[in-house]
Amino acid sequence: MADRRGFTLLEVLVSLAILSTTLLLAYRVISGAIEAEDRSERWTAASCLGESLVREAAAGFPDTGETEGKFAPPMDSYSWKRSIRPAAHPDAREVHVAVTWSRDGREERVTLSGVAVK
Q: What is the CATH number of the domain that holds 29?
A: 3.30.1300.30
63 within a domain of the structure (yes/no): yes
b/e sequence 59-87, b meaning 16+ C-beta within 10 Å = eeeeeeeeeeeebeeebeebbbbbbbeee
Q: Which domain holds residue 36?
A: 9-117
* Count, residues in the chain: 118
Q: Has residue 1 got a pLDDT over 70?
A: no
> At a CB cut-off of 8 Å and minimum separation 6, what does 15 contact?
7
Q: What is the C-alpha to C-alpha distance for residues 66 and 19, in angstroms, rounded to an integer?
A: 58
27 within a domain of the structure (yes/no): yes
- Please give the model's pTM, rounded to 2 decimal places: 0.77
Q: How many folded domains does the chain comprise? A: 1
Rounded to 10 degrees, what is the CA torsion of 79, 41, 48, 86?
60
57 within a domain of the structure (yes/no): yes
**What's the pLDDT tens digit per position in 57-113?**
988 899 999 999 999 999 999 999 999 999 999 999 999 999 999 988 899 999 999
**What's the pLDDT tens digit per position in 22-48?**
999 999 999 999 999 999 999 999 999
